[in-house]
Amino acid sequence: MTIFLVLAPYGAFATLMLVTSATVSLLCAALICLGVIAFDVARRRSIKILTVGSVIVFTAVGSYLTFVDATPSTIAVKIAIDAGILVVSLGSILVGHPFTRQYAVEEVDAAIAKLPGFTQANYLITWAWTGAVLLMLIGNIAVLYVPALPLWTGLLVAFAARNAAVCFTRWYPQYRKAKYGAPPARALPSH
């Protein structure tokens, strides 16, 4: 369910961009992000860096389209969103709080979350998502600047990059567990 909540605003944005205006698509995506925040608050979970960053990015691009210039193409809007999410993802790494860690902490025992490998794993998973966003950005830039590329090329790259990041996010913790095993009970802090 967590992956669904993380990807729901982006899926709604991409789908709505096919059938309605960019402004409406951005507004709906921002509202879904706010709904995810409300859901997390209601379940007494942390407010996520990625969700707040997404609200800011969707709102900023939507405000630009509404109040400054409504003429950017669909691809230009997607590039702006990808660039904004790339900044959020890289920013979370640079400030020492990889955005995936907030989700992972809510899924594992507190003792596991305190292990050094847990943080390292989350940095790697966040880098995987950052790479996926970068690939999506490059795919959309290619569609914008290489007129011979069909528009669906950007969608294909986005689909492949997101699916690869989802698969990696699911696979890597299992890989680490199989490689390193569960730590002995005496190795865990007793706080």
Q: How far is CA 87 from CA 15, 45, 48, 83, in A?
A: 23, 24, 15, 6
What DSSP character marks residue 185?
A: G
Under a CB-based contact definition with an 8 Å cutoff, are residues 82 and 57 in contact? no
pLDDT at 1: 61
Separation between Cα atoms, residue 50 and residue 4, nearest integer Å: 14
What 3-state DSSP class applies to 183? coil
Which region, left, alpha or beta, applies to residue 45 given φ > 0 means left and ψ of -120 to 50 means alpha?
beta
Q: For the whole prediction, is pTM greater than 0.85?
A: yes
Read off the tokens for 180.
């390193």
pLDDT, one tens digit for every residue, the chain (191 residues): 677 888 899 999 999 998 999 999 999 999 999 999 999 999 999 999 999 999 999 999 999 999 999 999 999 999 999 999 999 999 999 999 999 999 999 988 888 888 878 999 999 999 999 999 999 999 999 998 998 988 788 889 999 999 999 999 999 988 988 887 765 444 434 44
